[in-house]
Structure 1
Amino acid sequence: MNKTDSIARRILGWKLNRWDRWFDFENGVFIHESEFQPEHNLDHAMKIVQKLEEFGYHYTTDGVSMVRFNDIQASGDTLPKAIINAAYSIIERHANIHTPNIWNQLC
């Protein structure tokens, strides 16, 4: 599972429907992997930011290559890549915690 797939499933709450697409239950639509490229498209990356803000994370950036969600900071070659790296860091941080409340909040 790559970073984009992990973020789609654990943060956005999308379910893997086939090897190349997810299903977004909130909107009732299928999303093909070619239609969601947050590491290359700032609008797609901002969907992740919006969802994390709904979960209570505060987003700040230097506008170029550094992102912070509360106390989690990450960088990347571009702003979308920095967002992906920070979001994935959130997933990694909570991967070892086995409380349903955290996964209910993130999914």
Structure 2
Amino acid sequence: MNKVEIIARRVMGWTLNRWDRWYDFENGAFIAVWDFQPQQNLDHAMLIVERMKSLGFTYRTNGVSEACFNEVCESGETLAEAITNAAFSIADNSPIDEGWL
């Protein structure tokens, strides 16, 4: 799985419905794979921030190139990339059976 797939499954809680779309059970909506590009799109990255906040994480940033969820901080060339990297660090390093994922 790539970074976006791990975030979509483990953070957003979406399931892969077909090879080209996710299913969001909470909203009863299909999301095309190409319509969720958090590394390039700040609006998409902010969906991750809102989800992480709802899971109990605290979000902070230096404004342009670093994002933190609790004590896990990552950087990127853009804020969107930094948010994606921080969420990925948490999702990829956490066991899949943890209650919040």
Question: How would you bin the TM-score normalised by the shorter chain?
Answer: over 0.9
- Aligned residue in 2 for 1:78: 78
Structure with the larger helix share = 1
State the TM-score, normalizing by the size of structure 1: 0.89
2:58 & 2:69 partners in 1: Cα distance? 5
RMSD over aligned CA atoms reads: 1.1
Q: Secondary structure at the match of 1:16?
A: strand
Equivalent residue letter for 2:91: I
Please list every run of 5 or more consecutive structure 1 residues that lacks an aligned counterpart in the other structure.
none
2:53 aligned partner? 53
Amino acid at match of 1:37: Q
- Matched letter for residue 68 of structure 2: R
TM alignment of 1:1-107, pairs within 5 A:
1-95=1-95, 100=97, 102=98, 104-106=99-101
C-alpha displacement at 1:74, in angstroms?
0.2
CA offsets 1:47-96 (integer angstroms, 9 cap, x no match): 0000000111000001100011111010001000000100000012213x
Q: Which runs of 5+ in 2 are unaligned?
A: none
User: Using the alignment, how far apart are the partners of 1:92 and 1:4 within structure 2?
Assistant: 11
**Runs in 1 of length 4+ with deviation above 3 angstroms?**
none
Q: How many residues align structurally?
A: 101
